[in-house]
Amino acid sequence: MFVLGLTGSIGMGKSTTAQMFADQGCAVWDADAAVHRLYATGGAAVPAFEDSFSEAVIDGEISRAMLKEIIGRDATALKRIEAIVHPLVGQDRADFLAKADTDIVVLDIPLLFETGGDARVDATACVFTDDATQEARVLARGTMTREQFLGIKGKQLPAKEKCARATYVIETDTLEHARAQVQNIVQIIRSQHHA
């Protein structure tokens, strides 16, 4: 099994690109979706948060809005939250890898390079588009202000640096171009690792 780490900054088209890999017969694990599962009612993170951050547990699930509030007023909270969540996300990923039965597995991890996750994969792919397109995509979602977008972008490695570190770069200027690049990467991996 070949493990490809997929990353890219906010608004670069990573979710769409991940689906393109799935369309090519790859199993895709999504780090953000894993966190949603962990935070949901019955999720593995809920009991730990009931012990450490009980006010963040509302109606049996973890409230992201409440976590933001806690992090905003307590400088040590983020590190403590990460100490709970990161091992659980790692376990979710390990469980997924153990069950995957495809020749290529794609791990969709927004902070792949920032967290050192690139050391745990066989190759990396970074999605990329120009700054103006990135900003337009994020603001078109209507879920955050330009200031919030710039704040998130500021916490991520610069896109050009991610691309420089990646094995493959997927330019997401059009769906057709992105799809062609995904098909090419899958073909390369399959030809090199299944000969």
A 10 A CB-CB count for 131 gives 11
pLDDT for res 151: 86
- Count: domains in the chain: 2
3-state secondary structure of 4: strand
Burial class (CB in 10 A: 0-12, 13-18, 19+), 56: buried
The answer to whether the beta carbons of residues 123 and 167 sit under 8 Å apart is: yes
Q: What is the token pair recorded at 120?
A: 């745990």
State how far the Cα of 37 lies from the Cα of 89, in Å rounded to an integer: 10
- What's the CA gap between 10 and 177, in Å, rounded? 19
Domain-ending residue, one of 41, 72, 101: 101
160 and 114 housed in the same domain = yes
Q: pLDDT digits over 115-166, tens only?
A: 899 999 999 999 999 999 999 999 999 988 999 888 888 878 888 999 999 9
Supply φ then ψ for residue 10, to 5 degrees: -55, 135
Residues 144 and 121 in one domain: yes
Tell me: do 107 and 166 sit in the same domain: yes
- pLDDT, residue 67, reads 92
Domain identity same for 39 and 125 = no
Query: What are the tens digits of pLDDT across the range 10-19?
Result: 899 999 999 9
| CA contacts within 13 A on the Cβ side of 8 | 25
The last residue of one of the domains, among 101, 130, 159, is 101
| Shared-domain flag, residues 149 and 90 | no
Mean pLDDT across 20-37:
96
Do 21 and 111 sit in the same domain of this protein?
yes
Last residue of a domain, one of 101, 127, 162: 101
Residue 170 half-sphere exposure, CB side, CA atoms within 13 Å? 32
pLDDT recorded at residue 194: 66
Per-residue pLDDT of 165-183, as tens digits, reads: 999 999 999 999 999 999 9
pTM over 0.85: yes
The whole-number pLDDT of residue 46 equals 96
User: In terms of residue numbers, what domain contains 80?
Assistant: 32-101
Model confidence pLDDT, tens digit, residues 95-112 = 999 999 999 999 999 889
The mean pLDDT value for 81-90 works out to 93
Mean pLDDT estimate for the chain = 93
Q: Are residues 74 and 62 part of one domain?
A: yes
Q: Are residues 42 and 109 in the same domain?
A: no
Flag whether pLDDT at 27 surpasses 60.
yes
Do residue 78 and residue 168 come from a single domain?
no
Can you list the positions of beta strands (E) in 134-177?
168-171
